[in-house]
Amino acid sequence: MTTVSAVVQTHPSDSLLVRAARRQRVERTPVWFMRQAGRSLPEYREARAGTPMLEACRTPDLVTEITLQPVRRHGVDAAIFFSDIVVPLAAVGVDVDIVAGTGPVVAKPIRTRADLDRLPELTPDQVPDIAESVRRIAAALGGTPLIGFAGAPFTLASYLVEGGPSRNHENTKALMYGDPELWHDLCARLAQIAGAFLRVQAQAGASVVQLFDSWVGALPLADYERYVRPHSAAALAAVADLGVPRIHFGVGTGELLPAMGAAGAEVVGVDFRVSLTDAVRRLGPEYAVQGNLDPATLFAPWPAVEEQVRRIVTEGRSTPGHIFNLGHGVLPETDPEVLTRVVELVHEASSR
């Protein structure tokens, strides 16, 4: 296994990313990309050829290799643990598969109290391979931090209730509004699963964790506060005593940003629909921010990409901590060379 060389810092806690997450002064803006370890890289497609996604996520040799690939290629300031938000669900016995072109598909959706009984809590002994993968990656990275992650309770609940991806979340909202007690019990169970999954990663060597809420932008603020925030807060609280910065990211969440920060994160991820300037104004100075280049911008001619990158770097200076990222994940057709150029540009444009 090839080792990624550490840069100037000698420990991940001294890294640009961790210091920015703690709103400490940094020499330049750290940068990483959601879904940087994935389908945009030819070496990823070669490594994963013939291996189903969930199997790949539970194979330490493969997880280690795939996680390190974008750090080698792009020179990003952090690695993101290669996994999927449904991995802990599968680990507790949910019959779920990741179908190419569709996403996670659950064989038996959860919609009744009896269904909830089929969803046990997650314990570390159910995911020893996850801890092993994190240990290997952290050792290979040296001073470069590893970000662990988990899916947030609302997004996990949506997959479980709908049985797969959903545009309108009809069944999810029907359960949430129609049986609030069952909804809260389901989300409490999912908060335990997500929190335990984050904790396994942090205890094994992840220096930062991210709670990823893909679908929560489908809710208005009042519903988020009532039905979601307590459970996201519980998941984030599971690692509060470990001292690792926590990133809370969702899609379409401009109106939810202050509430998402209040759930317990040090860093609030901002998608591409809201400028960093507006996000910082909504959040206040208590949080670092992460984001927020539109992933589709990477398909434009380079001068247009450069203009947008420089704008975001400039906007990021309005807050004590900024981590450059996309406003969602890397699209599969993205040219890896453009990602490498973006990393170099962020470093150059932000150097003090």
pLDDT band for 346, please (50, 70, 90 cuts).
Answer: very high
Q: What is the pLDDT of residue 101?
A: 81
Active site residue 39: yes
In this predicted model, what pLDDT tens digit does every residue of 179-225 receive, in sequence order?
A: 999 999 999 999 999 999 999 999 999 999 999 999 999 999 999 99
Of 19, 23, 35, 73, which residue is the catalytic one? 35
Per-residue pLDDT tens for 97-138? 988 888 899 999 999 999 999 999 999 999 999 999 999 999
The pLDDT value given to residue 225: 98
139-168 per-position pLDDT tens digit: 999 999 999 999 999 999 999 999 999 999
pLDDT at 3 over 70: no
Q: How confident is the model at residue 9 (pLDDT cuts 50, 70, 90)?
A: very low
CATH architecture of 12-350: Alpha-Beta Barrel (3.20)
Q: Which of 24, 48, 50 is nearest to 38 (CA)?
A: 48
How far apart are alpha carbons 41 and 197 in whole angstroms? 26
In Å, how far are 97, 157, 253, 284 from 214, measured between CA atoms? 18, 11, 10, 23
Q: Which of 22, 28, 39, 341 is catalytic?
A: 39
Mean pLDDT of the chain: 95
pLDDT tens digits for 279-309? Answer: 999 999 999 999 999 999 999 999 999 999 9
Q: What are the two backbone dihedrals, phi and then psi, of residue 59, each rounded to the nearest 5 degrees?
A: -115, 105
Q: What percent of the chain has pLDDT over 70?
A: 97
What pLDDT is stored for residue 352 in this prediction? 66
Contacts of 177 (CB under 8 A, 6+ apart): none
Residue 81 has pLDDT above 50, yes or no: yes
pLDDT of the residue at 102? 87
Please say if 135 is a catalytic residue: no
Annotated catalytic residue, options 19, 23, 84, 287: 84
**Is 352 considered catalytic here?**
no
Concatenated DSSP letters for 62-116? HHHHHHHHHHHHH--S-EE----TTHHHHHTT--EEEETTTEEEESS---SHHHH
Domain ranges, ordered by start, for the chain: 12-350
Global pTM value = 0.95
| Distance between CA atoms of residues 209 and 114, nearest Å | 32
**28 a catalytic residue:** no
Choose, from 19, 48, 136, 199, the residue flagged as catalytic: 48
Q: Is 189 a catalytic residue?
A: no
- Residue 319, φ and ψ in degrees, nearest 5: -130, 150
The residue from 19, 73, 77, 159 that is catalytic is 159
Give the pLDDT confidence score for residue 177 in this predicted structure.
98
